[in-house]
Amino acid sequence: MRVRIWDWPTRLFHWLLVVLIAAAWWTAEEHLLTWHYRIGIATFCLLVFRIVWGFIGSSTARFASFVRGPRAIRGYLRDAGPAAIGHNPLGALSVLALLALTTIVVTLGLFATDEDGLDPGPLSHWVSYDVAEQAQELHETGFDLLLVMTGLHVAAILYYAVVRRHNLVGPMLTGRGAAPEGAEAMRAAATWRLAVAVAAAILLGWWIWSGAPL
């Protein structure tokens, strides 16, 4: 049985985040810091959207639909959980960890500065130079950790594809995929909810950009 699993805003968020993280890495390696900070602001906006969408979005995008406790995780590992679509209880931990770490890394970058103080982050003028320099160090360490977690995330996707014969990439591309018998299809959110999430992301991004010397 094939049903709708992911809405297009969630899928667009996922692939834009992949592109932006790759671009952030490349611009940092090439010392294109002006573009690096712009990408950071764009990523921040994207994360704000996803967090808001996690509370008011379509059914499978909501945190309440996939964030579960230890009992649900044990049931999933024993194949004893209820039929459902979207993130499984174990995969939800990975999703939350990636979202949290990405948010921390991006936020630190907004307050960071380079060692010479010549290329400050958009919000570095809010803190002292010492704090901005420490934010830079934590930002770099956090980004390295994010790359490791991203690699583990890809490895998990490959494991599901090869070992468990469960295609996780297809539904994130098309929005539809196989579902267990009795699973409920995704319930789409109203358009006004999407407008609220987009507006929140744009407003916060504009607030940062307006105070940024870019």
| The predicted structure's pLDDT at residue 74 | 72
Model confidence pLDDT, tens digit, residues 115-168? 666 678 888 888 988 999 999 999 999 999 999 999 999 998 898 889 888 888
Report the C-alpha gap between 135 and 121 in whole angstroms.
10
- The fold of the 2-210 domain, in CATH, is Fumarate Reductase Cytochrome B subunit (1.20.950)
On whether the CB atoms of residues 160 and 91 are closer than 8 A, the answer is: no
Is residue 177 within a helix (H) or strand (E), and if so which, with residue range? Answer: strand 176-178
Helices marked H in the chain — which ranges?
A: 8-29, 33-56, 63-66, 70-77, 89-111, 129-162, 169-174, 191-210
> What does DSSP assign to residue 8?
H
Report the Cα 94 to chain-centroid distance in Å: 10
Give the 3-state secondary structure of 17-30: HHHHHHHHHHHHHC
- Report the share of the chain in percent with pLDDT over 70: 90
Q: Which amino acid is at 164?
A: R
* Domain ranges within the chain, ordered by starting residue: 2-210
Residues listed for the chain: 214
Structure tokens at 4: 């709708």
Report the C-alpha gap between 158 and 193 in whole angstroms.
33
Report the C-alpha gap between 19 and 98 in whole angstroms.
15
The residues facing 4 across adjacent strands are 176
Report the C-alpha gap between 84 and 100 in whole angstroms.
24
- 83 pLDDT exceeds 80? no
Q: Categorize the per-residue pLDDT at 203 as very low, low, confident or very high, splitting at 50, 70 and 90.
A: very high
pTM summary value: 0.90
